[in-house]
Amino acid sequence: MSNISQLEDFATQVRRDILRQVHAVSSGHPGGSLGCTEFLVTLYQEIMNRKDGFDMDGIGEDIFYLSNGHISPVIYSVLARSGYFPVEELSTFRKLGSRLQGHPSTHDGLPGVRIASGSLGQGLSVALGTAQAKKINNDDNLVYTLHGDGELQEGQIWEAAIYAAAYKVDNLIATVDYNGQQIDGSTEEVCSLGDLNAKFTAFGWDVLEVKEGNNIEAIVNGLKEAKSRTGKGKPVCILLHTMMGNGVDFMMHTHAWHGKAPSDEQLELALSQNPETLGDY
Amino acid sequence: MKKYTDTGKKDTRSGFGAGLTELSKTNENVVALCADLIGSLKMEGFIENSPERFFQTGIAEANMIGMAAGLTVGGKIPFAGTFANFATGRVYDQIRQSVAYSEKNVKICASHAGLTLGEDGATHQILEDIGLMKMLPGMVVINPCDYNQTKAATLAIADYVGPTYLRFGRPKVANFTPENGEFVIGKAVMLNEGTDVTIVATGHCVWEALIAAEKLEAKGISAEVINIHTIKPLDEEAILKSVAKTGCIVTCEEHNYLGGLGESVARVLSLNNPTPQEYIATKDTFGESGTADELMAKYELDAPAIEAAAEKVMKRK
């Protein structure tokens, strides 16, 4: 088991990777990526049961689906630094011929990715299919997903939410990146999600909230609690309260950095707030 | 002309159901999904044999397609069934991203395609699905002609690895292909050799093409009839070989002439051997309520329309 400070160092390096990837091609989505860094580092480094290497079927291990595919810089960094592909490949992000497409794909054979995502709202359904395949295969490992909160405005999410409860898909933990921001403004302004906890509860899910979604210790405890609630006849939902742009002071408290790359000066400032820990690619 | 006998009218959807039932016994990796249309898709046999491998999603087709994609992760071969309208247009983006671009081994099984759905009318009569599906990179598109061939196609696609669209229909139509016949994806079936005009047809139009060929024969016209059950990948060789002999072609489909079999054939011909072509297809229009036979006649997809098109295209040689 990693200790908390090791995970924090890992997360700091991932933040550097995110900023450098996005800066290098002047495109991509740093805000949501930074906000989910601690969660994904904790999930891959501390929580998930993962086999060595990668195969598409993933039988005998936990599986993660990124439904909000635009936060590709963070999943690419976490996958690379978890051993799925060479860290140096992060330098090809969004470039012609790269396996690191703007949004994650299986088309180009990047290890660690099992579904394309980018068009929002589809990952929960895919996860349900895999969760049901695990049940048929008598594979007691879990399926994890991550969704943007704005993504929950897509109707397909609620089709899947109904199914998951109706058919007691209890080997699934869906996490919502609850940062309250989307492209056109706050989720409250754009199209209010209302009381998400009450909504998922009413849909028959077991809901827990992690109030400090950028605090690794809180995330570890929340994910462990969520795991303990699986296998009890209900799908499990984590409302992860995060800060978009976390770890870079000028990217926080705004939706402005949802899909915008930093300038040279802004990159320098952002990196100075996140000193190198594991070594840059 | 080679004689074909209708062994008794049957619906192609029942051919799908029979194939799926057989797969429940012969292939443990096959799973099935349905969005509240079990009876219409004839899926009862599969469910009875393998209830643990069946997933009822309710009226939620987008979720069904996503789940089908997810079931492939774990080694399953999902057959997702609903009406053609809801299996394509309604869920196009889900198919595009989660199935086609993600290269998932999902079988999209679409019943009640085309006008012959009949009385339910245009909301349910999709005439654009072949076009929608053939435009997706890597998607195989199959439209078998009768009960026996639909059953054979259902079995064949289970052994093919890759995203597949299987289109079939509602009405009882002539059943004339061999029972337990071979089905080779992408390989056209020569039904009648001829020298004056080529008629290529898919789906319910194949039997109509055979009737038309008989009428033409009575007038001294030798029509070559080819069953194109696979629209993508298209058997280009069979088409080019035939028109090299006949010099003209009629394409027949229960689908809009924009985006269908006819346009796929036209592309092959224009690149290789520009040939006069007539289209038996709906003409950029929606359908309407009526019986299957009435609609096939009104929208000029039946044997008399094919016969007339053949005579017309011969004059353009």
Mean pLDDT of chain B: 98
- Residue B58 is nearest to which of A123, A130, A163, comparing CB atoms? A163
Could you tell me what percentage of chain A is helix, strand and coil, using 3-state DSSP and rounding each to the nearest 5? 45, 10, 45
Q: Closest by alpha carbon to B228, among B244, B215, B213, B242?
A: B242
Q: Do B63 and A106 touch (CB under 8 A)?
A: no
Q: Do B102 and A136 touch (CB under 8 A)?
A: no
Q: Do B76 and A127 touch (CB under 8 A)?
A: no
A160: closest CA of chain B, how far (Å): 6
Chain B CA closest to residue A138? B74
Q: Which two tokens stand for residue B77?
A: 């071969």
Decide: B181 and B227 in contact? Cβ < 8 Å. Answer: no
Would you state the torsion angle of the CA atoms of residues B52, B55, B56, B59, taken in this order, to the nearest 10 degrees? 170
Active site residues of B: 61
Asked if pLDDT for residue A1 goes beyond 60, the answer is: no
Query: Average pLDDT in the B104-112 region?
Result: 98
Share above pLDDT 90 across residues of chain B, in percent, rounded to a whole number: 100
Cis-peptide, bond into residue B233, ω within 30° of zero:
yes
Residues in a beta bridge with B140: B164
Distance, CA of B306 to chain centre: 18
CA angle B86–B90–B93, rounded 5-degree value: 130
Give chain A positions within 8 Å (CB) of B65: 125
pLDDT score for B75: 96
The pLDDT tens digits of the residues spanning B145-204 come to 999 999 999 999 999 999 999 999 999 999 999 999 999 999 999 999 999 999 999 999
**What amino acid is encoded at A83 in this protein?**
G
Q: What is the CB neighbour count within 10 angstroms for residue B304?
A: 14
pLDDT band at residue A2 under the 50/70/90 scheme: confident
Give chain A positions within 8 Å (CB) of B136: none
| Alpha helix positions (H), B145-186 | 147-159
Domains of chain A by range and CATH?
Answer: 4-272 (3.40.50.970)
Asked if pLDDT for residue B8 goes beyond 80, the answer is: yes
Mean pLDDT of chain A: 97
Asked if pLDDT for residue B121 goes beyond 70, the answer is: yes
B104: closest CA of chain A, how far (Å): 9
Share above pLDDT 70 across residues of chain A, in percent, rounded to a whole number: 100
Share above pLDDT 70 across residues of chain B, in percent, rounded to a whole number: 100
Residues 6+ apart with CB under 8 A from B154: B15, B16, B18, B19, B20, B23, B79, B109, B166
- Report the relative pairing of strands B249-256 and B277-282 from DSSP bridges: parallel
Distance, CA of A236 to chain centre: 16
Q: Do B74 and A136 touch (CB under 8 A)?
A: yes
Query: Average pLDDT in the A47-53 region?
Result: 97
Mutate to test the interface with B, among A65, A68, A125 (most CBs of B within 10 A): A125
